[in-house]
Amino acid sequence: MHRLLSLSLLLPLAAQEVPPTLKPVLDMIQADNAWTLEQQTSICEIPAPPFKETVRGVEYAKRLKSLGLVDIRTDAEGNVISRWPGSTVPKPLIVFSAHLDTVFPEGSDVKVKRSGTLMTGLGIGDDCRGLAVLLATARAFQKHNIKFAGTVLFVATVGEEGQGDLRGVRYLFEKGEYVGKVDAFISVDGAGARATSGGVGSNRYKITYRGRGGHSYGAFGMPNPAHAMGRAMARIADIQVPKSPKTTFNVGTVTGGTSVNSVPIEVSMEVDLRSESPLELKALDERFRAALQGALEAEKARWPESKALLELDVKSIGIRPATEASDAKPMAKTAMQTAKAVGLTVFSTGSGSTDSNVPLSLGIPSITIGGGGAARGAHSLDEAYDDRADGYKGPQWAALLVATLAGLAK
Ligand SMILES: [Zn+2]
């Protein structure tokens, strides 16, 4: 509560209009749109697979430096952090960010193809667009000597995508030097005029059933880990979840066993549970665990004479907290108003699974916005970004939102 109040007190600009100081900034972003797209392409052609964002991070740090950012460093997790110079007070502290990583493995072809306003390439929208938006914004702020009242950090995070499990943003808010200090968080992720003010929570598990194993014929008559896991999957598949708040489950990978004529020693599955609502996620998690345990017991009960062991191991491989979305949040309102001021109509996506999840779960006003233009096929080999006629409105929106939250220096 205290944080929301303090944020509403630090909105010195009227968000629905563009202050005269910022007009030339927005004009420059529009006029130099080609520069923004060139940044988007060239940063995207540096591979950044999960856990291997360093090369792209080093280049990004260089570009931030050339655009006037100061105190540039890479923290212990790999996030590239920089500060806009000349803030007059440390507070409010605004983090303006995009993510470096992609979902694509090492060795993928990262060449970007371009035809008119359409660009095709791995990660071109998610999140090379966000990275380019930060650079375009910095360049226009630099050119027009913009100084903020508060402090603005430009941050490129690592590990936003699935396997990374938000490790970059987690480090920033849970371990790094800014723990407890950030007043507002903006992530530019992907394209479009989207705003995501809530976080979809997810619990991910690697589930393993283990037994003694043996010959399929000779040792028949003992609990079978694969059969136990099959029972678990059938139970999971029958779990009823609400449509709204959206709540989902998925058995995503299944592995194990050694040969067709062996009772497996071990089988595993990876499962993803998600919900927009913290309560529904908790309820789903409990039903899921009951299904796992029930399956274990049913498989043991099937072979009452057998003394062979059967074990269940539940290992958490990622927890993302859920936070309810609301357009009534001051941050969501400010985002809507600033979008309107640059001529964008924002569509609210409710909850997402992005870097904002972590600060949102800590009660810090946060939003994930699109970078303008339009994108399709995120995380696919056909990923494309179309700048259309007004892609520049994305960085304009971001610039106005940052300036509104940080306030302009007198
Ligand atoms: Zn993304």
Which tens digits make up the pLDDT trace of 295-342?
A: 999 999 999 999 999 999 999 998 877 887 777 788 999 999 999 999
The answer to whether 277 and 247 are in contact (CB under 8 A) is: yes
Determine the distance separating the centroid of ligand 1 and the alpha carbon of 147, expressed in angstroms: 29
Listed as ranges, residues in the chain with pLDDT below 70 are 1-16, 88
Look at residue 1 in the predicted model and tell me its pLDDT. Answer: 33
Determine the distance separating the centroid of ligand 1 and the alpha carbon of 292, expressed in angstroms: 32
- 345 and 388 in a single domain? The answer is yes
The answer to whether 201 and 278 are in contact (CB under 8 A) is: yes
The residue count for the chain: 410
Determine the distance separating the centroid of ligand 1 and the alpha carbon of 134, expressed in angstroms: 14
Look at residue 15 in the predicted model and tell me its pLDDT. Answer: 58
Look at residue 240 in the predicted model and tell me its pLDDT. Answer: 97
Determine the distance separating the centroid of ligand 1 and the alpha carbon of 354, expressed in angstroms: 7
Look at residue 64 in the predicted model and tell me its pLDDT. Answer: 98
CA–CA separation, 217 vs 219, rounded Å? 6
Which tens digits make up the pLDDT trace of 174-183?
A: 999 999 999 9
Determine the distance separating the centroid of ligand 1 and the alpha carbon of 224, expressed in angstroms: 41
Predicted TM-score (pTM) of the model is 0.77
**Number of folded domains that form the chain:** 2
- 212 and 185 in a single domain? The answer is no
Look at residue 2 in the predicted model and tell me its pLDDT. Answer: 36
Look at residue 232 in the predicted model and tell me its pLDDT. Answer: 98
Tokens linked to 305: 């004479």
Look-up: residue for tokens 């927009």?
A: 276
Determine the distance separating the centroid of ligand 1 and the alpha carbon of 52, expressed in angstroms: 16
Look at residue 128 in the predicted model and tell me its pLDDT. Answer: 98
Tell me the residue range of the domain where 42 lies: 2-199+322-406
- 233 and 274 in a single domain? The answer is yes
- 254 and 180 in a single domain? The answer is no
- 218 and 301 in a single domain? The answer is yes
- 338 and 302 in a single domain? The answer is no
- The answer for residues whose C-beta is within 8 angstroms of residue 376's C-beta and 6 or more apart is 125, 382, 383, 384, 386
What CATH number is associated with residue 17? 3.40.630.10
Domain boundary residue, one of 317, 351, 380: 317
Domain boundary residue, one of 285, 317, 349: 317
Determine the distance separating the centroid of ligand 1 and the alpha carbon of 190, expressed in angstroms: 6
Look at residue 13 in the predicted model and tell me its pLDDT. Answer: 54
Domain boundary residue, one of 317, 351, 378: 317
CA proximity to 337, closest of 258, 263, 407, 401: 401
- 286 and 379 in a single domain? The answer is no
The answer to whether 344 and 369 are in contact (CB under 8 A) is: no
Dihedral sign, Cα of residue 107, residue 112, residue 113, residue 119: positive
- 184 and 223 in a single domain? The answer is no
- 117 and 158 in a single domain? The answer is yes
Determine the distance separating the centroid of ligand 1 and the alpha carbon of 242, expressed in angstroms: 26
- 51 and 40 in a single domain? The answer is yes
- 186 and 208 in a single domain? The answer is no
- 84 and 182 in a single domain? The answer is yes
